[in-house]
Amino acid sequence: MTISFRSAAPLYAPSSARRIPALQGLRGAAFLGVLLFHTGVLSGGFLGVDLFFVLSGYLITGLLLREASQTGSVALIAFWGRRCRRLLPALVLMLVVVTLVVCIIGAKDLLRTALGDGPWVQANLLNWHLLAESASYWDDFGDVRVFEHLWSIAVEEQFYLVWPLVVFVVARWTRRPDAAVLVIAGAGAVASVLAMALLTDPSDPTRAYTGTDTRAFALLLGAVAVTGPVRRRIGALADRMGNLGRDVTLVLLISVVVASWLLVDGTDWTWLYPGGLLAHSAVAALLIALLAQSGRRGPGRLLEFPPVQLIGDLSYSLYLWHWPVIVVLSWAVPRLDGWALTLVTGAVSFVAALASRSVIEDRVRFRATWARGRSGLLALILLMAALALFWVVVPQPAGPVIDVDQLGSAR
């Protein structure tokens, strides 16, 4: 198996066909932040999820707006087909493998919640399922759940389903889709921030943190940053600052992001809801927009370090695998923690992600002609049916046995 440091999924500026390696590097940095947070090394690393959200909003909206400007519309079926080919193979593989591993090693609690959460992951509604079960993100995140980290994937998938419809309608009904998307995304971000402010419970901010409505502002700020009016304004400002001023601004923005990851604690810093999360997402959106304007020069070159590029390229699969690896390792080797847990998790997740991409992801995404058109729709239906059946046929573990006699004697 050959390891290549060249991205297989290049990122492009919305206005041209040039690669932006710095944005790929940001993906790598976002994953590293999340990994370090989940292994207890970096208290504010959970903010990497917000960076993922802003990047997704920026890149997806850029692609949609570019298509709308070129064709006057958005090919929704083609867009959703590309998303399915990109996201589903890795997700289904991870769900099946992790569930079988948990079943084989005999971790009954992990298997019970995996089988309970799996169908909701498949339906892209896990975040709402966890909220309905009152599963606290901050107090007992991951104690018995191998798929709990997929709440953020559910939020993104819901965005991928709804937002292209919005851009499609805008492209059909206005001659200036960029301006209309700017207004709609801006208004949506404001509404999302207000929802977070109203729904935050200081004793347990899980509802505000994992709800789609309360987190949409990060995705929508990314959408705002990629619209033509905003890009032109940022470009004009960058030109007035000159190369030195632009580089200094990038250094400051990167420093703010890094400092927040080092200093913030999601359980104590209640000002995160909504002010801190909003500020972090706004800084991330500006950073992404400036990096896209700067090209391959300045401080953004730090994000072009080949290992960071590779991590960015594999970031989706790495994110899928890293949390189940942490949970299983913590169950099997309880004493493993801190940097040791980080290194082992990173190594296992990297091998799994690289194998996933080489064996199935790239084949389906780039080379499988059957995954397109009507045959692709049929394959999707069969895959979803097979996965739904999988959650049924895997045997449920026996529930805990309660000795009533002992309860009576304890009185």
Q: Evaluate whether residue 342 is within a structural domain.
A: yes
pLDDT band of residue 11 (cuts 50, 70, 90) is very low
Question: Could you report the per-residue pLDDT of 132-182, keeping only the tens digit for each?
Answer: 987 666 665 556 799 999 999 999 999 999 999 999 999 999 888 999 999
What are the residues facing 12 on neighbouring strands?
19
Q: Evaluate whether residue 384 is within a structural domain.
A: yes
Cα distances from 135 to residues 200, 210, 303, in angstroms, run 15, 11, 36
Give the whole-angstrom CA distance, residue 36 versus residue 19. 28
Q: Evaluate whether residue 1 is within a structural domain.
A: no
Q: Evaluate whether residue 232 is within a structural domain.
A: yes
How many domains, in total, are found in the chain?
Answer: 1
Q: Evaluate whether residue 79 is within a structural domain.
A: yes
Residue-averaged pLDDT of the chain: 89
- Asked if the model's pLDDT at residue 13 lies above 90, the reply is no
pLDDT, residue 106, reads 87
**What predicted TM-score, i.e. pTM, was given to this entire model?**
0.91
pLDDT, residue 249, reads 92
Q: Evaluate whether residue 13 is within a structural domain.
A: no
pLDDT, residue 206, reads 87
Q: Residue 403 belongs to what domain range? A: 21-410
pLDDT band of residue 273 (cuts 50, 70, 90) is confident
- Asked if the model's pLDDT at residue 347 lies above 90, the reply is yes
Q: Evaluate whether residue 313 is within a structural domain.
A: yes
Give the contacts of 209 (CB within 8 A, at least 6 positions apart): 137, 138, 215, 266, 273
User: If you count them, how many residues does the chain have?
Assistant: 411
Tell me the CB-side half-sphere exposure of residue 190, using CA atoms within 13 A: 5
Q: Evaluate whether residue 291 is within a structural domain.
A: yes
